[in-house]
């Protein structure tokens, strides 16, 4: 709540306009009253990172198909735990597509765009050994 415009704009996926809007919102008395009511009602306003490393920092993954041993939410947690992002669609900003059985159009698009496609085994080998 005390962050300035530059600090807010430095957060992943927050641009200049959103940062300016958020900083403005957090300076309004009415907004502060709402936040205090939420805090009083028991809403946790602190953030606890689940990040355990940075092996995937700045990388975007797309998961598609059915993986042999990992559930999608487990794979997502591993990626995010290493600082990566998981997207629901393939674009030129995608770094890796992790493809399992019955991967469809996402795999096709990754191949067209020349994005690195990994199976589960190759994905798991990218993780640090201590996980």
Q: Where in the chain is the domain with CATH 3.40.50.10190?
A: 60-126
Q: What is the pLDDT of residue 101?
A: 95
Taking 80 as the threshold, does the pLDDT of residue 131 lie above it?
no
Segment 67-91, tens digit of pLDDT: 999 999 999 999 999 999 999 999 9
Domain 60-126 architecture: 3-Layer(aba) Sandwich (3.40)
Q: Tell me the C-alpha to C-alpha distance, in Å, between residue 41 and each of 13, 28, 35, 38, 45.
A: 29, 20, 10, 5, 11
| Beta-ladder partners of 97 | 62, 117
Taking 70 as the threshold, does the pLDDT of residue 56 lie above it?
yes
Q: What is the pLDDT of residue 9?
A: 86
Segment 2-50, tens digit of pLDDT: 889 988 888 777 889 999 999 999 999 999 999 999 999 999 888 766 6
């Amino acid at each position: 709540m005390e962050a300035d415009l530059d600090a807010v704009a430095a957060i992943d996926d927050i641009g200049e306009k959103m940062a300016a809007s958020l900083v403005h919102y957090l300076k309004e008395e009415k907004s502060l009253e709402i936040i205090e009511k939420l805090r009083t009602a028991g809403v946790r306003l602190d953030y606890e990172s689940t990040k355990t490393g940075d092996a995937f920092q700045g990388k975007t993954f797309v998961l598609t198909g059915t993986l042999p041993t990992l559930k999608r939410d487990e794979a997502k947690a591993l990626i995010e735990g290493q600082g990566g992002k998981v997207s629901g669609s393939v674009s030129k900003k995608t770094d890796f597509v992790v493809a399992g059985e019955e991967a469809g159009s996402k795999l096709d698009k990754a191949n067209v765009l020349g994005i690195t496609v990994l199976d589960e085994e190759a994905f798991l080998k990218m993780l640090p050994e201590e996980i």
